[in-house]
Amino acid sequence: METQSPARLATLGHPQRLAIYGLLMRRYPDRVPAQEIAQAIAAKPSTASAYLAALARAGLISAQREGPSLRYAVEMDAAQALFDDLFLDCCRGRVDLCISDQNRRPAMAHATDQDTDRKYRVLFLCTGNSARSIFAESILRHTAGDRFEAYSAGTTPKSELNPFAVEVLEQKGHDTSVLRAKHMSEFQADDAPRFDFVFTVCNQAANEDCPAWGGQPVSAHWGLTDPVKVEGTDAEKSLAFQHTYGALYRRIAAFTALPLPDLDRMSLQAAVDEIGQTQGEA
């Protein structure tokens, strides 16, 4: 086994360091501020800093200074080297033992092999499920409802939708009568739909260590600034919601243009990650 791998495995053996690593994996390729990481794992800044330093010494993450803040991201080359090392040393390169059937097939094969008419199912996750994820659900249903089933949910949903979000949707011609804030647990029951894609559209939802989704959906983080937190006049608040709607519209347009049946899982993952980085709020 590669000499660095035992040290890296030992570093990840600590629950809080593993939690930070999982958070950064969920946020990849974003760089996350140290303060936000500390808040997400409910640790003192000094404690989180020590965990981050240990992960950095092991080469698992890297830091980059942006103004007064340090931002951290996973070192994907190191992650791949660790997984490769485990595969070659522990599994002796046995593809039949260590690689699932699904990862050998085209990414969307499970959506088309048995029922070629089935639509791709997409879940958008946010914290409150009152604005950003509701926008995404509505846009996908409206623009590509013939090919996709769109859903949204929140980790701690609000009791009602944000009125500015509803106003923007109605201005854009969306049917808001079918929308409501939902807890993600609705989609984790045994009889819930199996998703092909799960996208987080806010940082807080991505930071939370949620249970893995059944069916191994392709996931990505498409974080956007929360328009609900914008202060000012009603006109200024409405403009913030309009910008968020526009950013999500561009991302979903890029997503629905992908040749899904032709892409393998790695190519599709790279594509949805890139959409989250390049189809921004500008």
The partner residues of 120 in beta bridges, in order of sequence, read: 148
Residue 129, domain member (yes or no): yes
Which range marks the domain in which residue 41 is found? Answer: 4-77
Are residue 225 and residue 113 in the same domain, yes or no? yes
Residue 33, domain member (yes or no): yes
Are residue 72 and residue 114 in the same domain, yes or no? no
Residue 88, domain member (yes or no): no
Rg of the chain (C-alpha set): 20
Residue 202, domain member (yes or no): yes
Cα 16 from chain centroid (whole Å): 20
Per-residue pLDDT of the chain (282 residues; tens, 9 = 90+): 557 888 999 999 999 999 999 999 988 888 999 999 999 999 999 999 999 999 999 999 999 998 888 999 999 999 988 888 877 776 665 655 665 555 444 455 444 444 556 799 999 999 999 999 999 999 999 999 999 999 999 999 999 999 999 999 999 999 999 999 999 999 988 888 899 999 999 988 788 777 678 788 999 999 999 999 999 999 999 999 999 999 999 999 999 999 999 999 989 999 999 999 875 554
- Other beta carbons within 10 angstroms of residue 78's beta carbon come to 18
The CATH number that applies at residue 21 is 1.10.10.10
Name the DSSP letter for residue 156. Answer: S
Question: Containing H/E element for 101?
Answer: helix 101-104
The partner residues of 65 in beta bridges, in order of sequence, read: 70
The CATH number that applies at residue 140 is 3.40.50.2300
Are residue 63 and residue 113 in the same domain, yes or no? no
Are residue 71 and residue 148 in the same domain, yes or no? no
Residue 207, domain member (yes or no): yes
Are residue 135 and residue 261 in the same domain, yes or no? yes
Residue 86, domain member (yes or no): no
Are residue 232 and residue 268 in the same domain, yes or no? yes
Are residue 151 and residue 242 in the same domain, yes or no? yes
Q: Are strands 32-33 and 69-74 parallel, antiparallel or unpaired?
A: antiparallel
Are residue 141 and residue 35 in the same domain, yes or no? no
3-state secondary structure string across 14-48: CHHHHHHHHHHHHHCCCCEEHHHHHHHCCCCHHHH
CB 139 within 8 A of CB 214: no
Domain tally for the chain?
2
Are residue 190 and residue 63 in the same domain, yes or no? no
